Amino acid sequence: MAVFTFLGPEGTFTEAALLKVPGAREARRLPATNVNAALDAVRAGEADAAMVPIENSVEGGVTATLDAISTGPELRIVREEVIPITFVLVARPGTRVADVRRISTHGHAWAQCRGWASAHAPDAVHLAASSTAAGALALLEDAAKPGDAAICAPIVAEEHPELEVLATDIGDNPGAVTRFILVSRPAALPARTGADKTTVAVPLPEDRPGALMEILEQFAARGVNLSRIESRPTGQYLGHYFFSIDVDGHAHDARVADALGGLHRISPEIRFLGSYPRADGARPVVKSHVTDDAFAAARGWVDGILGGTGVG
Ligand SMILES: O=C(O)C(=O)Cc1ccccc1
């Protein structure tokens, strides 16, 4: 039976994303204390796959995830889930919003509730927690003080009646969604569906004016759309970056494979992070000159020239 790990404990949004994966409800699920621990459990073979957050429609990329999957022993993204996010403020019974002085939660949750907090609990400071559920469960420990509260998913309050809900739906952006990825050790690619995404991490070559433009040209010239691009420091020294990029398409699409080859010539340390089905099922518009048939016809034409002249 498959073993899944996820950013825990129980009650995180990441767990909700994992539970959408077919078979995950029946499988063994191991909560991890942070993204790195979840990914390392997969690398070590203690889990077959890890669900971790990768980006949020309000706060952007989850840098811990972008960095951890782009370095160290190789991993592959095999699936994505996008889930709507709503937040509640919880505390020990008897606490009033006006009494709240410390709000413990994950950084991405705080970023999405900052406006609500400054309007309703202006004296409260944020205490970073490894996840929303971890912040909420800490309220039940002896070390919790009067004035402590947490921002978490409604399910945590439902599962823990010892916590009181002080306010519901406190996110500043209605409609906020978070995207999660299921990550496994490198194996056969998930089959092409026609509505796929491919993720790569491309170190920017140094001392090469126009290198970013050259990277982008690889996609533009082959009609490949990008759905996310962000730069991250490699951590090696100041000024050294890689680009974390999602493209519309599968490595088995000729236009994507050709673009990947072009990227490798520019940045040989490129890391392929997977091709997997898009959560929304949206199929990209593929112009007629970059279809698989167009690439095959072009290849056949070149092969014909080479065969005809006896070159190569
Ligand atoms: O802490 C959680 O519950 C998570 O799963 C990470 C997260 C935090 C805030 C918004 C979306 C995901």
How does pLDDT run across 153-208, given as a tens digit for each residue?
999 999 999 999 999 999 999 999 999 999 999 999 999 999 999 999 999 998 89
Residues 180 and 146 in one domain: no
53 lines ligand 1 (CB under 6 A): yes
Cβ 108 under 6 angstroms from ligand 1: yes
Using the 3D structure, point to which of 153, 186, 219 is the last residue of a domain: 186
- List the CATH number of the domain containing 16: 3.40.190.10
Indicate whether 196 and 304 sit together in one domain. yes
Q: 48 and 180, same structural domain?
A: yes
| Distance from the alpha carbon of residue 1 to the mean position of ligand 1, in angstroms | 27
Query: What is the structure's pLDDT at 289?
Result: 96
Give SS3 for 119. Answer: helix
- If asked whether residues 33 and 182 sit together in one domain, one would say yes
Partners of 103 in beta bridges: 126, 149
Q: For residue 71, what is the DSSP state?
A: S
Atom 12, ligand 1: residue with shortest CA distance? 13
For residue 308, what pLDDT is reported?
67
For ligand 1, say whether the CB of 222 is within 6 Å of any of its atoms. no
In 3D space, the residue among 153, 175, 182, 178 whose CA is nearest the CA of residue 59 turns out to be 178
Token pair belonging to 128:
């970073």
The model's pLDDT over 27-41, given as tens digits with 9 standing for 90+, comes to 999 999 999 999 999
**Together in a domain, 249 and 152:** no
Using the mean position of ligand 1's atoms as its centre, give its distance from the Cα of residue 131 in Å: 6
Contact 96, 41 (CB under 8 A): no
CA count, 13 A, side-chain hemisphere, 36: 7
CB of 178 within 6 A of ligand 1: the answer is yes
**Cβ 124 vs Cβ 102: under 8 Å:** yes
Write the CATH number for 223: 3.30.70.260
Q: Do 203 and 120 belong to one domain?
A: no
Q: Does 249 share its domain with 180?
A: no
- The structural domain count of the chain equals 3
Domain range enclosing 219: 188-312
Q: What is the mean pLDDT of residues 278-304?
A: 97
Substitution candidate for ligand 1 out of 132, 151, 155, 182 with most atoms within 8 A of CB: 132
Q: What ipTM describes this predicted complex?
A: 0.97
pTM: 0.95
Q: Write down which residue in 139, 168, 197 finishes a domain.
A: 168
pLDDT number for residue 1: 83
Average predicted confidence (pLDDT) for the chain: 96
Paired tokens of 161: 């009646």
Q: Distance between alpha carbon 96 and the CA centroid of its chain, in Å?
A: 35
Ligand 1 binding pocket includes 105 (Cβ within 6 Å): no
Q: Determine the residue of 86, 89, 103, 131 to mutate for testing ligand 1's pocket, defined as the one with the most ligand atoms within 8 A of the Cβ atom.
A: 131
Report how far ligand 1's centroid is from the alpha carbon of 126 (Å): 15
CA-closest residue to ligand 1 atom 1: 131
Tell me: the pLDDT tens digits for 209-247?
Answer: 999 999 999 999 999 999 999 999 998 899 899 999 999
Q: pLDDT-derived band of residue 24, with 50, 70 and 90 as boundaries?
A: very high
Out of 106, 112, 177, 179, mutate this one to test ligand 1's pocket (max ligand atoms within 8 Å of CB): namely 106
From 130, 152, 186, the end of a domain falls on 186
Are both 94 and 207 inside the same structural domain?
A: no
* Mutational test site, ligand 1, from 5, 6, 10, 13, max ligand atoms within 8 Å of CB: 13
Residues 97 and 66 in one domain: no
> Same domain, yes or no, for 54 and 179?
yes
Positions of E strands within 106-250: 125-128, 148-152, 164-168, 177-184, 196-203, 226-233, 241-248
One domain, residues 193 and 275: yes
24 vs 238: CA distance, rounded Å: 41
> Are both 193 and 182 inside the same structural domain?
no
Q: Which residues pair with 184 in a beta bridge?
A: 49, 76
